[in-house]
Amino acid sequence: MPPRDCERYDDFLLLIGDFGPFQKRLLFWMMPAAFLFAFTYFGQIFMILLPKNHWCKVSELQGLPENEQKNRGIPKKSDGSYENCFMYNIPYNSNKTNDANETRSKVPCNNGWIYDRKEVPYESIATEYDWVCDKEDFGTYSVVVYFVGCIVGCLCFGYITDHSGRLVALFLANACSMIGGCVSAVCKDFPCFAASRFVTGLAMNYCFVPIYILTLENVGMKYRTLVGNLALTFSFTLGACLLPWLAYAFSNWRHYAMVVAVPVVLMILTSLLAPESPSWLLSVGKVDWGIEVLRDAAKANGKTISEETWSEMKECFELKFANEQLGKQYTSLDLFKTFRRCVVLIILIVTWMTVAMAYDAHVRVVQILDTDVFITFSLSSLVEIPAGIVPMFLLDRIGRKPMMSAVMLLCATCSLFVGLLKGEWYVSAAAIAARFFITMGYNVGQQWASEILPTVLRGQGLAVINIMGQMGALISPVVLSTHRFYRALPMFIITLVSVVGASIILVLPETKGATMPQTLDEAEKRWTLRCKDRKINADI
């Protein structure tokens, strides 16, 4: 006969220990995963860098000083800068000024380009294959293809994570990251490079998310905020800050691509050595395996548990799984079956799209600023540390809604300054500040969404939100490319998007001090769609 006191095993961490050597080992494995996550996400930026200052190569003028080559052979634009895509049909053969060439006709570049190596001191794929002028959008297209891969990866690996296990998803995602990265390094044309970036994009989230979920599922509640933010705040930031200097040090995009891709083998090995999540094993009916992992965890944490307790625990989880199979099986479509649910999900989706677009735009904006791209990217990446620490202290004091709305509005303000200011370092400072605020929004939004959604559909609901959020990230390189029409236009678009995001979240429920909803009915009672919240727990 099944034991009656099964509720005591719902939180098995009380028995095996909630933050002992077992959990610290999981945290140890999560740190390199976060570090390499930065490589997978940001690595492409430094493969496709293109100096803003480039001009036609004029064979007859080779050997002359750079300024004289441009002065004799390259026409000027109306603003006084030199053309990037045109040259004179016949170069002027004296040392007179460019004005004397006005009688010559302009023709498109026909002998390649010369690139300012002071801006980008190494060969990127964009400079090696001249992705300029009529090919100038190739870099943007490659990023878009990368995010298309990310969307497909979220669909595939999200399903695998819940149905085949956290470690299977971790293995497959990191295999995609390594294979795609290595193939990128040998590509000689755009179709090959785009295809390789699609494969790498498949891993964009799930090269890290499975080990993140696995760790949080097996850490005590009071340690989750610390553990969840520790890896992203420090390891991810370190990886992001290191990337530009790896590109600078290796001085060739192919060598750099290999250096970014090969270390991912560490996470492939981790997926073979780490224990599967006992929470997942028990939830899908693999009780024997789950109990075996819990035994190892208890032993590692120095906990002694009787055989009678293990036997009773096994019976309880077998009974619980059997009862769950008799109950209703929910799908993500259930989140859209009433008006209130539909509105809340749409708001969460649109909010996450605005956050993802603004975040990715402020990551990549360094490519169009006038300051040194390597220094600016490293400085802007460093703000991930305070952006991860500040929410730890403020989130439970002032609440999710006011903090999320405030950081989105501050991001909008700083983005507006990026578009309006003139001094190059003033612009860069405003861009770095904007990234600081949108990174906080990213961190707060991820936690807030998980607290709003009910337990029965939390995983599937977050998958829907993240997949749609990647649509926003996919659009961000296109938004940045509009700077060719008007320098400040990308930041004006991001300003508008951030204001929209800050406004629509005001009707979402505040979750500060509230328990997470378990059922759809419980969640729907909280989704009041009002700016001023009730005391949630008092009404349930």
Closest among 369, 411, 406 to 495, alpha carbons compared: 411
pLDDT for res 1: 42
Give the domain-ending residue among 69, 98, 115.
115
Q: Among positive and negative, which fits the CA dihedral 125, 130, 136, 142? A: negative
Q: Is the pLDDT of residue 110 over 70?
A: yes
DSSP lists the bridge partners of residue 56 as 113
The reported pLDDT for the residue numbered 524 is 73
- Residue-level pLDDT at 194: 96
Mean pLDDT across the stretch 108-131?
Answer: 91
Verify that 142 and 23 share a domain, yes or no.
yes
Are residues 389 and 487 both part of a single domain? yes
Q: Which amino acid is it at 293?
A: V
Between 222 and 398, name the one with better pLDDT.
Answer: 398
Which is higher by pLDDT, 152 or 369? 152
Residue 200 and residue 336 in one domain: no
**Same domain flag for 268 and 337:** no
At residue 539 the predicted structure's pLDDT band, cuts being 50, 70 and 90, is: very low
Residue 142 — pLDDT band, cuts 50, 70, 90? very high
pLDDT for 537 beyond 60 = no
Boundaries of domain holding 76: 54-115
For residues 102 and 248, state if they share a domain: no
Look at residue 515 and tell me whether its pLDDT is greater than 70. no
DSSP for 462-493, please give it.
HHHHHHHHHHHHHHHHHHHHGGGT-TTHHHHH
End-to-end C-alpha distance for the chain, whole angstroms: 34
* Continuous H helices in 129-231: 138-163, 166-184, 190-201, 209-216, 221-230
pLDDT at 403 over 60: yes
Determine the average pLDDT of the residues in 418-437: 90
pLDDT at 535 over 60: no
Structural domain count of the chain: 3
Measured CA to CA, the distance from residue 128 to residue 50 in angstroms comes to: 10
* Amino acid 289: pLDDT: 92
CA 287, chain centre distance (Å): 34
- Counting Cα atoms < 13 Å in the Cβ hemisphere of 233 gives 16
- Out of 254-258, 330-334, 441-445, give the one with best mean pLDDT: 254-258
Query: Is position 387 within any domain?
Result: yes
In this structure, what are the phi and psi dihedrals at residue 56, rounded to the nearest 5 degrees? -65, 145
Residues 160 and 101 both lie in one domain = no
**Has residue 536 got a pLDDT over 70?**
no
Among 118-132, 139-153, 343-357, 447-461, the least confident range: 447-461
| 273 located within any domain | yes
Taking only the tens place, the pLDDT of each residue in 82-103 is 888 999 887 766 554 455 555 6
pLDDT in tens, 27-80: 999 999 999 999 999 999 999 999 988 899 988 888 888 888 888 888 888 888
Cβ-proximal residues to 227 (8 Å cutoff; 6+ apart), any chain: 23, 27, 30, 215, 216, 219
Statement: residue 486 has pLDDT above 50: yes
Q: Which residues contact 489 (CB under 8 A, 6 or more apart)?
A: 419, 482, 483
Last-in-domain residue among 85, 115, 145 = 115
- 494, 441: one domain: yes
CATH of the domain at 239: 1.20.1250.20
Verify that 106 and 178 share a domain, yes or no: no
Residues 442 and 320 in one domain: no
Does a structural domain hold residue 2? no
> Within a domain: residue 3?
no
Q: Which residues of 456-481 are buried (b: 16+ CB within 10 A; e: fewer)?
A: bbbebbbbbbbbbbbbbbbbbbbbbb
264, 297, 327: which is the final residue of a domain? 327
Residues 365 and 292 in one domain: no
Instruction: Summarize pLDDT for 218-249 with one digit per residue, the tens.
Output: 888 778 777 877 888 889 999 999 999 999 99
The predicted pLDDT at position 35 comes to: 94
* Degrees, nearest 5: CA angle 268-272-276: 115
CA distance 364 to 197: 16
Q: How confident is the model at residue 410 (pLDDT cuts 50, 70, 90)?
A: very high
Structure token pair of residue 49: 């860098």
pLDDT averaged over the chain?
85
Q: Is 146 domain-assigned?
A: yes
The confidence score (pLDDT) of residue 322 equals 82
Residue 306, phi then psi, degrees to nearest 5: -70, 155
Residue 538 has pLDDT above 70, yes or no: no
Q: Is residue 79 part of a domain?
A: yes
Cβ contacts of residue 540 below 8 Å, gap of 6+?
Answer: 517, 522, 525, 526
pLDDT reported for residue 540: 39
Residue 301 lies in a domain: yes
DSSP percent split of the chain into helix, strand, coil, nearest 5:
70, 5, 25
Query: Is 224 found in the same domain as 97?
Result: no
CA distances to 50, 338, 353, 357, 494 from 360, rounded to whole Å, are 18, 33, 11, 5, 11
3-state class of 1 per DSSP?
coil
Distance CA 122, CA 50 (A): 10
HEC per residue, 292-334: HHHHHHHHHCCCCCCHHHHHHHHHHHHHHHHHHHHCCCCCHHH
- State the pLDDT confidence band at 275, using cuts at 50, 70 and 90: very high
pLDDT of residue 307: 87
Q: What is the pLDDT of residue 8?
A: 75
Structure-token pair, residue 474: 């996919």
Q: Are residues 79 and 12 in the same domain?
A: no
Q: pLDDT > 90: what percent of the chain?
A: 36
Of residues 538 and 424, which shows the higher confidence score? 424
Residues 203, 208, 210, 212: what is their CA dihedral angle, to the nearest 10 degrees? -160
